[in-house]
Amino acid sequence: MSAEPRAVPKYYLLKEQLRALVRDATPGALIPTERALAEQYATSRTTVRQAIGELVAEGVLGRAQGRGTFVAPPRFTYVRQLTSFSDDADAQGLVSSSTVLDVSRTAADDDAAARLRVPVGAELARVERIRLINGEPLAHEVALLAGALPGLAAHLDRTGSLYTALRQDYGIDIVAAEDTVETRLAGPDDVRLLGIEMGAPLLLIHRLGFTADDSPVEWTRSVFRGDRFRFLARMKGPQH
């Protein structure tokens, strides 16, 4: 006996209708209010709110207090390899920048010591930044680097790129990396730093960067807005 097909939820049907409605709309264009949409589609505001909420989480729509709900701009495609954040933005005609929150020295805790193969308590350089695209905060990064790296703040300010500063000023060339990607929901710190709503989807990425002799020198924790980023990984097949 075959199972009865499940009915498609009303909010999902509405969500797909709204997706089609805004597909060719100009980024930034406002959509009708929840009340207007409920009347237009003969449904409840609760159903409208759930449909809009999922489209916001997917990056199709955006929402700002005092402005309303609008068509979100296209997602920034980040080629998560050894190209820089700035390089990937430039390739798409976008303007990247960073707000440096902290450049300091810290002692390695158990986790950082194990990742970077240094003793617990060893001195590390710490760099905390907000990464922006077209002036919009899209990622929060904290990098821990083996060694004290004196003068790092000035070198980072001059180059605008951590990898460039490491290579040019310290002779540290990161040639390989391991990335671990997880999903999570925004908490109070993410709301404050990225200007997003509580519970918004995020991508949490840990990167361990290696030099040519397989020495780990960088351990970075990055939190990216899930509604504004998508990642592209490029891999080469076996050589014949």
Q: Are residue 59 and residue 80 in the same domain, yes or no?
A: no
Confidence label for 143 from pLDDT (cuts 50, 70 and 90): very high
Pairwise CA distance, residues 53 & 39, whole Å:
18
What percent of the chain stands above pLDDT 70?
89
* Total of domains in the chain: 2
Average pLDDT over residues 77-84: 59
DSSP code for 30: B
Query: 27-72, pLDDT tens digit by residue?
Result: 889 999 999 999 999 999 999 999 998 888 777 888 877 778 999 8
How high is the pLDDT of residue 240?
47
CATH number, residue 128: 3.40.1410.10
DSSP code for 150: T
Pairwise CA distance, residues 223 & 143, whole Å:
12
In 10 A of CB 107, how many CB atoms? 13
Task: Indicate whether 143 belongs to any domain.
Answer: yes
Give the residue carrying structure tokens 């930034």. Answer: 28
Instruction: Tell me which of 69, 95, 114 is where a domain ends.
Output: 69
Residues with Cβ within 8 Å of 75's Cβ and at least 6 positions away in sequence, in order, are 59, 227, 228, 229, 230
Rg of the chain, C-alpha, whole Å: 22
Q: Are residue 80 and residue 47 in the same domain, yes or no?
A: no
What percent of the chain stands above pLDDT 90?
50
Confidence label for 227 from pLDDT (cuts 50, 70 and 90): confident
Q: How many residues does the chain have?
A: 240
Q: Are residue 61 and residue 108 in the same domain, yes or no?
A: no
Q: Are residue 62 and residue 129 in the same domain, yes or no?
A: no
How high is the pLDDT of residue 200?
84
Average pLDDT over residues 131-144: 91
Residue 220 domain boundaries? 74-230
Task: Indicate whether 240 belongs to any domain.
Answer: no
Task: Indicate whether 62 belongs to any domain.
Answer: yes
Average pLDDT over residues 155-175: 92
Q: Are residue 60 and residue 82 in the same domain, yes or no?
A: no
The answer to whether the CB of 18 falls within 8 A of the CB of 50 is no
Pairwise CA distance, residues 194 & 25, whole Å:
25
In 10 A of CB 190, how many CB atoms? 20
For residues 157 and 90, the model is more confident at: 157
How high is the pLDDT of residue 190?
93
Task: Indicate whether 30 belongs to any domain.
Answer: yes
Residue 42 φ/ψ region, left for φ over 0, alpha for ψ in the -120 to 50 degree band, beta for the rest? left
* pLDDT higher than 70, residue 81: no
Pairwise CA distance, residues 226 & 206, whole Å:
15
Q: Give the rounded distance of the alpha carbon of 212 from its chain centre.
A: 27
Confidence label for 131 from pLDDT (cuts 50, 70 and 90): very high
Instruction: Tell me which of 69, 93, 110 is where a domain ends.
Output: 69
Beta bridge mates, 207: 179, 220
How high is the pLDDT of residue 201?
86
Q: Are residue 194 and residue 162 in the same domain, yes or no?
A: yes
